[in-house]
Amino acid sequence: MRLINPAWNHLSPRKTKVINQEGDLALEDMIANEGCVVTVSHAGFIKRTPVVQYRLQKRGGKGTKGAELSKAASDEDSDFIEHLFTANTHDHIMFFMNNGRVYVERVHEIEEAGRATRGKSIARLLDLKDDEKLAAMVCVNDFAEGKFLIMCTANGTIKKTEISKYENYRKGGIIGINIEHGDKLISVKLTNGDNEVVMISQSGMSIRFHESDVRSMGRDTTGVIGMNLDSGDLVKAMEIVDPANTLLVVGIDGIGKRTAFDDPETKEPIYRKQSRGGKGVIAIKTEVGVAGALSVQEEDEVMMLTKGGQSIRTKVK
């Protein structure tokens, strides 16, 4: 069959043009930006799972299997999910190490695995050095200006840096914060520039101040004094103040208390605001020291683990 005068059949002019032009095509341009659940186990295994695999169930159901973790005979070798958050495949995850170095990976670069599988070792994913331990993770969709990272060390140093300073990351990691000898990074939080911060020390002291007390610095800097610690004391936790949440502080002996940041009726601060660099106020009276602290919601559950391997999972309320 042969067409004669095909133009008669297409009287309308062509609306598009085919041109020869060079252009850049990034890998994420070929990957759908889909929702997923990212989980990290206590032993350091990470995976992403399509959110559709976590089906909605009615209250009182048996649930679904979340991860195939260690089936070791002793509790000491057992594993559990330590971090769980939702993300999109085009998002970035920032992995902060105890020595201040930060590695960045796109979510789609994390191995996809089903609910019942363990995932991949973070040490292998990032090619970590032997002395590098994960201190904190932050998930962001971009490195736009106007967002900040607040970093806290065990010796009470605090640092604030605009997240755009981390946009030019490298596969082998970059300096996130300069850590002085004998110190280590313990916490990193994402802020909007108008948040309040609370730091909790091992002796049970706490200090609450506005992040505007900490000027924004460059990436390759050390920071300033956030909490004035007594000799031998250490910062165990840093949290962003959320009036809708409560602060859970737990001692090494397993005894803890949960306190609202503000009085629900008067809205007056229970953890009173101070200036950066003070000694703070008592958060919990303890003779053995604080193990950790978390900002929690009433529907949350927490997992506590001892050095001997004993673990307990309990509801906050």
Instruction: Kindly write down the DSSP assignment for every residue of 52-82, as one continuous string.
Output: GGS----TT------------SSGGG---EE
The structure's pTM equals 0.83
Question: Dihedral through CA 288, CA 294, CA 298, CA 301, nearest 10?
Answer: -80
The SS3 call for residue 211 is: helix
Give the model's pLDDT for residue 6. Answer: 57
Q: How many CA atoms lie within 13 A of 149 on its CB side?
A: 30
**What letter would DSSP give residue 216?**
B
Q: Which residues of the chain are under the pLDDT cut of 70?
A: 1-12, 21-27, 54-78
- Which one-letter DSSP state was computed for residue 20? -
Report pLDDT for 25. 66
C-alpha 234: how far from chain center: 21
> What is the per-residue pLDDT across 206-228, written as a single tens digit (0 to 9) for each?
999 999 999 999 999 999 999 99
pLDDT score recorded for residue 73: 35
Tokens of residue 220, six digits: 């390759």
The span from the CA of 70 to the CA of 73, in Å, is 9
Measure the N-to-C terminal CA separation of the chain; round to a whole number of Å: 79
Q: Where are the domains of the chain?
A: 33-54+66-92+104-132
43: left (phi over 0), alpha (psi -120 to 50) or beta: alpha
Query: For 301-313, b where at least 16 C-beta lie within 10 A, e where not — what string?
Result: eeeebeeeeeeee
Answer yes or no: are the C-beta atoms of 202 and 288 closer than 8 Å.
no
Local structure of residue 122 (DSSP, 8 states): H
Q: What's the pLDDT at 220? A: 94
**pLDDT in the model for residue 75:** 41
